[in-house]
Structure 1
Amino acid sequence: MPLSAILPIQDSGASLLQASSSDVDEHCASLGGWRLSYDQISAGAFRGSFTQLSLPRLDVFREITSQQVRQHGLLGDGCFGIALPWQGDGEINCNGASVAGAQVIACIDAEIDICTPKSFELRGVVASAALIEELAARLDIELPRMVWHQLRVIEMAQAPVARLRAHLAAIHDTITTTPERFDQPAVRAGLEDALLVEIMDMLPTARANDSGRSAAARKRTVERARALMHGSGERTLSLLEVCKAVGASPRKLGYCFQEVLGTSPMHYWRAMRLNRVRRDLKRAAGTGASVYDVAVRHGFWHFSQFSLDYKRHFSELPSETLRRTRLAP
């Protein structure tokens, strides 16, 4: 019996969102109804694209980012999400754990906090948590409570993961070649059933990643350090001061940052401050603020070095960002 017969709904049609951007904030704003914030970690020109096929009960997405990015926030209230890393120049870091093999990223009504590598592609499915819970109850499936209210890297049986991967590949091939097929109600119903069957087959096989406990400890160390970095006010803390506050040696803190965020503490801190400068410059139209004013506000006292770092990170000078902002309608 198809799942659509178990939980019948009125077919409201399908919609297709496709967006591309050369700015990390613009890319983030294109992510449908997701409430996420992105920070560009690696240096270089950013290129991103986002495709979302919205079906009556599911959203199927594909996201591509060219640079290393930290993503944090929420998919939405009461959302279930499951995602498969597709490709990238390195591993994805999720709450201190990396994703590989038959591992997937899953969460139910949880905060997102992941760091993706360069040239990264992620594909997955988002639905309401209520739908997943109701289907599980009707089908007598016990859902893994490990994914409630937290983002987790989890091991799952390889066969349903492989089948879900094949479905996602076929969906995006169809979007590229014949997207009008999704205008047919029978196609939408069959596609939703196929995806939900694999998800309901995968979830009972979920088990925690073996490195969960040590990953959680690394995550806590990084979170304490980040809170100090972001909450240090006008005075820029030294790395030694941060290490003393969190009770970790510079080597240990560097290891934790590398495992959780895929970068060093100093590189992360500089990247976060550069992202903040860029956002302030893009909001500076009509304020009379200068690049120097904004840079100093975020702790960059060596202006020529700041300009070099900014251009290396975003592939344009800060003055160019400000000029484009002021010329924008």
Structure 2
Amino acid sequence: MEFRVSALDDVHDHSLAVSGWEQVYHQITPGRFESTLVQASDDNFQFFRESTNRRIAQAGVSPEGFSSIAVPLYGLSTGTFQGQHIAGFPLMLLGPGEEFHLHTPESMHYIGVSLPSGLMEQLVSDTVDESAVSKLTQSVLQVPESAAAVLQLHLVPFLDAMQATEDRLSSVESDRRFQHEVMSVLLALVEAATGNSRDLTHATYSDIVRRCERFLHEYAEEPVTVLDLCAMLRCSRRTLQTSFQRVANVTPVEYLRSYRLNAVRRLLRSSNAAELLIGDAAARWGFTHLSYFAREYRDLFGELPSQTPRKS
């Protein structure tokens, strides 16, 4: 997947730099224009992260065949999208080939994702609710500020780390993890904005955790993501998060990582070095980057994999 970062000082250059979009940007307020544009895309996924420092009027047409969702990473003071006033954390939605108009505040920092419309609808149906699919035709869905906290607490640090990484999206695995991480957060915001969240019983939360464990064991060698689990269980990221917090007092990501690391440790302790190399044991549980695996292993167990006692 192609990953590009651009720093721009002209509003016209910025509008032309956004791949796949037919649009024109107009600078409204005076002063030197400065912006940053981050893009990641393949045939079925388009991601952008934009920051601008001047009030902008945007107009254009969304990509054909794709449904698009955008959300500010920081709460808006005011703005207008498709003729509707926006503030706080609005989800801004566009259908395929839809004409749009957006008037931003003086400073705006937001992300957007475009997926094939059928895929977008399927993900919303699987991880939120079938009834939420019909709400994708609305131009604006308002996210409660409490639910939007995931943007600053989780997504922004994740995107910042990805942007700072030299090799960035250099493999099929890293591409997939990036797409799933971004989409799982956006789908959680759709759930919060459409009011489809449910408070389940503790037994149900426990069952969700057990089913995740079975799925993880069945697909041990695959890099299972939170979005994989949401789609398999037909539940939202929020429900998955609550399940692991209520049952194990950790996040799903922390639980999945520790589950896989414990499985590798059992393999190492039950085999000798001649039978099973450390790298092969790690690969059996989806760890393909040995340096990352060794760091995570040491953080959890207080020792490197090479220091773990092996079978004599």
Displacement of 1:74 in angstroms is: 1.8
Q: Which residue of 2 aligns with 1:123?
A: 111
Q: What is the CA–CA distance in structure 1 between the aligned matches of 2:109 and 2:194, rounded to whole Å?
A: 24
Q: What is the CA–CA distance in structure 2 between the aligned matches of 1:103 and 1:88, rounded to whole Å?
A: 9
How many residue pairs match? The answer is 193
Task: Encode CA deviations 1:201-250: one digit per residue, 9 max, x unaligned.
Answer: 44344349xxxxxxxxxxxxxxxxxxxxxxxxxxxxxxxxxxxxxxxxxx
Query: 1:49 and 2:33 equivalent?
Result: no
Q: What is the CA–CA distance in structure 2 between the aligned matches of 1:163 and 1:87, rounded to whole Å?
A: 11
What SS class does the counterpart of residue 47 from structure 2 fall into? Answer: strand
Q: Which residue of 2 aligns with 1:15?
A: 2
Structure 2, gaps ≥5 residues long = 196-312
Q: What is the CA–CA distance in structure 1 between the aligned matches of 2:182 and 2:51, rounded to whole Å?
A: 21
Query: 1:135 and 2:123 equivalent?
Result: yes
Task: Encode CA deviations 1:81-100: one digit per residue, 9 max, x unaligned.
Answer: 22222358842222343333
Q: What is the CA–CA distance in structure 2 between the aligned matches of 1:141 and 1:157, rounded to whole Å?
A: 21
Task: Encode CA deviations 1:8-46: one digit per residue, 9 max, x unaligned.
Answer: xxxxxx211222322221111111111111112112222
Structure 1, gaps ≥5 residues long = 1-13, 209-329
Q: What is the CA–CA distance in structure 2 between the aligned matches of 1:78 and 1:159, rounded to whole Å?
A: 33
Code of the residue aligned with 1:47 in structure 2: it is: E
Contact 1:17 1:52 in 2 (8 A): yes
Q: Which residue of 2 aligns with 1:222?
A: none
Q: What is the CA–CA distance in structure 2 between the aligned matches of 1:93 and 1:124, rounded to whole Å?
A: 16
Normalising by the residue count of structure 1, what TM-score does the alignment of the two structures yield?
Answer: 0.51
Label 1:207 to 1:25 Cα distance change in 2 as closer, same or farther (>3 A).
Answer: same
Task: Encode CA deviations 1:118-175: one digit per residue, 9 max, x unaligned.
Answer: 2322223222212112334556633343442x6x221235565433554531343124
What SS class does the counterpart of residue 99 from structure 1 fall into? Answer: strand
Contact 1:88 1:117 in 2 (8 A): no
Label 1:204 to 1:64 Cα distance change in 2 as closer, same or farther (>3 A).
Answer: closer
Q: What is the CA–CA distance in structure 1 between the aligned matches of 2:187 and 2:163, rounded to whole Å?
A: 27
Q: What is the CA–CA distance in structure 2 between the aligned matches of 1:60 and 1:33, rounded to whole Å?
A: 10
Alignment of 1:85-234 (within 5 A): 85-87=72-74, 90-109=77-96, 110-137=98-125, 141-148=130-137, 152-156=139-143, 161-164=148-151, 166-207=153-194
What SS class does the counterpart of residue 169 from structure 2 fall into? Answer: helix
What SS class does the counterpart of residue 192 from structure 1 fall into? Answer: helix
Normalising by the residue count of structure 2, what TM-score does the alignment of the two structures yield?
Answer: 0.53
Alignment root-mean-square deviation, CA: 2.9
Contact 1:103 1:155 in 2 (8 A): yes
Q: What is the CA–CA distance in structure 2 between the aligned matches of 1:160 and 1:100, rounded to whole Å?
A: 15
Q: What is the CA–CA distance in structure 2 between the aligned matches of 1:137 and 1:146, rounded to whole Å?
A: 11
Label 1:48 to 1:202 Cα distance change in 2 as closer, same or farther (>3 A).
Answer: closer
Q: What is the CA–CA distance in structure 2 between the aligned matches of 1:170 and 1:55, rounded to whole Å?
A: 23
Q: Which residue of 1 aligns with 2:24?
A: 37
Q: Which residue of 2 aligns with 1:284?
A: none
Q: What is the CA–CA distance in structure 2 between the aligned matches of 1:162 and 1:177, rounded to whole Å?
A: 22
Label 1:101 to 1:116 Cα distance change in 2 as closer, same or farther (>3 A).
Answer: closer
Identity among equivalent pairs (%): 24
Q: What is the CA–CA distance in structure 1 between the aligned matches of 2:22 and 2:88, rounded to whole Å?
A: 28
